[in-house]
Structure 1
Amino acid sequence: MKRKSILPLLLIVFLIAQGSYAQEPKMKTIFNGKNLKGWTVEPEDNIWWSVEDGNITVENDPTKTGSTLWTKKEYGDFVFQMDFLMGTGTVDSGIFLRSEKDQIQIGISGSLKRDMTASPYIPGKSYPVEAKGVKEVLDREDWNTMKVKLVDQTYTVWINGQEVMTYTSENMPDKGPIGLQLHPNNEMSIAFKNIQVGKL
């Protein structure tokens, strides 16, 4: 009896593996741990953002003015990953995706007055969905890792390795910078490190 060739099966396995590998981009560090090279502050007269001990630290000034730290580069589809440490006060921060119209919340929502970490905030829509299971994995006293994968207009968020949210937005630009937010009208501090991006 003639044996069936296993080559077709091996080929299928190989192609599946290649497809899975292609979904994991090569991550590139975009914060050098020394200064804010490659980033731009808005408003331009920076009194909020600093680099200390290899971390980006941001804190409100006495006027409680808000600020955003933007990447100088623009990105289309990408995976973004960083570690964050909630500091003093009522932490209300987030990550802007391609523009200020799509944000991933970090900390307490100013409107809802509760922790909405990893949930999307859309101006005019508030929080269209709420991340699930964040309370069980988020450590408010230590460093946490947030990973965001954005493809077309759909983004997925992980906290400390656990997937907690997926949302499809509307009218997102095809390309844009990534921003870290300091919310106005607040007293708080937060730190970021190990900031990486992988283009898809």
Structure 2
Amino acid sequence: MKKIIFLVVAMLAIRSAANAHEPSLKKIFNGKDLDGWVVPDNNRDNWTARDGVLYVKSDTSRKGSILWTKQQYRNFVISAEFLMVDGTVDSGIFLRSENDQIQIGISGSLKRDLTGSPYLPKLKYPVEADVKNILKEKEWNTMKVQVIDKTYTVWLNGKQVMTYTSESIADKGPVGLQLHPGNVMAINYRNIMLAEL
């Protein structure tokens, strides 16, 4: 009996130690307004919040914009759920600046879905994430991005799909969400959470 109790206590201790290394994610989107975010000038209802969801949609100008966090980060993990609603969805998560982005949806230049892949203006898509049979059409998906120094890793729906080291990533900066210019599109986000590392 003592051996069983010891084994149970040991297993609980191991599980507790493993969970201690998991970052504690905190909401950076409150689900009811854009408090904590820098709303683009002339928003035109491109970015609206209600009932726990961030609604992102193009307007007739198709100018596009970026919604940035007010806070800046160095090393962090961000997690968000997204639902590609309508049109040619070309969105993504910017990491510390406009230089490094994780694509969500159709690449404007390559005309195919590159969700989870890094986009850098000078290099375009230096590697491509393999999301075949992972990305869910017309359903909520969860993307998690970990950024440590110059390296970022992406998980889609719990599966690691890409790791990349960017020599040009900024040392510190905000996180941004993109509404790509030129497209007619709608995408929703919810449960946007972040932990500093």
Same fold? TM cut 0.5: yes
- 2:73 aligns with one of 72, 75, 98: 75
Aligned equivalents of 2:132, 2:47: Cα separation in 1: 28
Offset at residue 36 of structure 1 (A): 0.4
Structure 2 SS opposite 1:192: strand
Aligned to 1:99: 97
User: TM-score scaled by structure 2?
Assistant: 0.89
Structural mapping, 1:26-175, within 5 Å: 26-42=24-40, 44-47=41-44, 48-132=46-130, 134-175=131-172
| Greater mean deviation of Cα atoms: 53-62 or 186-195 | 53-62
**Kept after mapping to 2: 8 A contact 1:96/1:181:** yes
- The CA distance in 1 between the partners of 2:49 and 2:168, in whole Å, is 34
Task: Please say if residues 41 and 67 of structure 1, whose CA atoms lie closer than 8 Å, have aligned partners that are also in contact.
Answer: no
AA aligned to 1:68 is: I
SS in 1 for 2:77: strand
Structure 1 unaligned segments of length 5 or more: list them: 1-9
Q: TM-score w.r.t. structure 1 length?
A: 0.88
Structure 2 alignment gaps of length 5 or more: 1-9
C-alpha distance in structure 1 between counterparts of 2:176 and 2:153, whole Å: 17
Matched AA of 1:196: M
Could you tell me which of 181, 188, 191 is aligned with 1:191?
Answer: 188
- The root-mean-square deviation of aligned C-alpha atoms, in Å, is 1.7
Deviations 1:37-71 (A, max 9, x none): 000123x2211100133200111110110100100
- Secondary structure of the residue that 1:164 maps to in structure 2? strand
Identity %: 58
**Cα deviation, residue 23, structure 1:** 4.0
- Give secondary structure in 1 for the equivalent of 2:142: strand
Counterpart residue number, 1:4:
none
SS of match in other structure, 1:109: coil
Q: Give the count of matched residue pairs.
A: 185
Contact persistence 2:99–2:168 (CA under 8 A): no
